[in-house]
Amino acid sequence: MSAGAVAAVDLGATSGRVIVGRIGRDTLEMEQVARFANDPVPAGDGLHWDVLSLYAAALAGLRTAVRAHPDLASIGIDSWAVDYGLMRGGRLLGNPFHYRDERTARGVDAVHARMPHAELFERNGLQFLPFNTLYQLAAEDPAVRGLADRMLLIPDLLGSWLTGQTRAEQTNASTTGLLRVLDARWDDELVAALGIPRALLPDLIAPGEALGALRPEVAAALGARADLGVTAVGSHDTASAVVAVPMQPDAAAYISCGTWGLVGVEVEHLVLTPDALHANFTNEGGVDRRVRLLRNVMGLWVLTETVRGWERAGERIDLPTLLEAAAAVPAASVPVVDIDDPRFLPPGDMPARIDAWCAERDLRAPQSRAEYARTIIESLAAAFADTVRTAARLGGVDVRTIHIVGGGALNALLCQRVADRSGMPVLAGPVEATALGNILVQGRAAGFVSGSLEALRDLVARTQEVRRFTPAA
């Protein structure tokens, strides 16, 4: 079984990349061939993603990948969840809305007037998040929704432009709230109850299945072989990231930490208990029909938006220097805020929101940039540690190790404080877990590797570096 090459299009909430992965029995290597910004666009009707620019940048990156690696076996696409494009006759009706757009609030009211969250949880197994796809669809302009004949989540949308095929990949579809959690099929009864046209929802496709060959004009534009195609991967970026967590499932929790912190355990059976509902946990689809029992925690978004605000005000911020200064601030001297408070969800002045949260509780607010950064890190670490403990209890998993993957694995202060607050060792890395998971699923589909998720994770453990953080005595 020889090694081969695949291309991963990995779209994050702040940037996208095209990465060529070389994979074989003892090989797992990555080469980033393109990186591009993903900046939301405020328009007259709300906050949008510039999906056409993302697609153009992905095509440019794929062109570079094909030129350097004409033997590419396939292409896989992953991105953030829940957001979508509405189509008619294969044409996009408008740039997709951003999940942080304020319109989602009215969608929540409209959906819960027909079906409360507790009943929804029994059907879709999802935690309440005000931007889940079913709420966004309920908030759509009825005239626009009435024109549409198809809804495609972001990776599915790009896949359709590449291949001409319209399918919905299962792990990402599981985040919409419209999938029956018990059998991973579209919930036609729920869809009808919410007044959503059933024709909007495309047929489902599982990770590892072939979506289709590139359209001839796309292959020509990329300089690619006529038979180069797209393979479905865990197109929800967290689903791909969890594939690449080098963990033993009966003894570990994972934190996929970037803009969001996805904190949970992998289980083989759904957890739909009243306790899970009360804890606001979610049962999302994983690769190979595993269940990702997790909760969304606000993540590094709060720190990123804080730094962005200072920079907009004319300050020049070096993040490593800021984190070094934050590490020198005693943890006991700063407040720990509820990082999941809804006030921290939309863009805006995060320090002012931290001040308001503290004032409401008669707490001393941070007084310097270093103290604000330390407050955010301490608050994230506390939320992560608490959520790990809850996930372990709900899932019946004897967690003894926490794996942090994604950009948060580079934040040594955060990793150490998660270890300290949880009392468990933290293994940080791989940073590029999402792209690696994308590559692993493609590599297995192409026959470059074989075996279960555990076999794929063993390859990650043997080829990728991790850093260990031990709880302070």
Q: What is the pLDDT of residues 26-46, one digit of tens each?
A: 999 999 999 999 999 999 899
Please give the CATH number for the structural domain made up of 4-237.
3.30.420.40
User: If you search the block for the tokens 């580079």, which residue do you land on?
Assistant: 410
| Residue 249 pLDDT > 80 | no
CATH class of 247-429: alpha beta
| Dist CA 237 CA 218 (whole Å) | 24
Q: What predicted TM-score, i.e. pTM, was given to this entire model?
A: 0.95
Crossing angle (nearest 10°) for helices 301-312 and 369-395: 160
pLDDT in tens, 156-192: 999 999 999 999 999 999 999 999 999 999 999 999 9
Measured CA to CA in angstroms, residue 112 lies from 126, 128, 137, 201, 330 at distances of: 14, 11, 13, 21, 44
Tokens in use for 141?
């302009």
Domain boundary assignment for the chain: 4-237, 247-429
- pLDDT: is 338 or 143 the higher one? 338
Question: Can you name the residues that pair with 52 across neighbouring β-strands?
Answer: none
Please return the burial class of 314, using the count of CB atoms within 10 Å of its CB with bins 0-12, 13-18 and 19+. exposed
What band does 110 get if pLDDT is binned at 50, 70 and 90? very high
CB 435 within 8 A of CB 10: yes
Q: What angle do CA 429, 100, 58 make, to 5 degrees?
A: 60
* Rounded Cα distance, 453 and 243, in Å: 7
Same fold for the pair 4-237 and 247-429? yes
Mean pLDDT of 3-8: 97
By annotation, the residues acting in catalysis are 237
Q: What confidence tens digit (pLDDT) does each residue in 314-363 have?
A: 999 999 999 999 999 999 999 999 999 999 999 999 999 999 999 999 99
Q: How many CA within 13 A on the CB side of residue 229?
A: 15
Give per-residue pLDDT as tens, 50-63: 999 999 999 999 99
Residue 468: pLDDT over 90 = yes
Tokens of 365: 């607010």
pLDDT digits (tens, 9 = 90+) for 11-28: 999 999 999 999 999 999
Res 43: pLDDT: 93
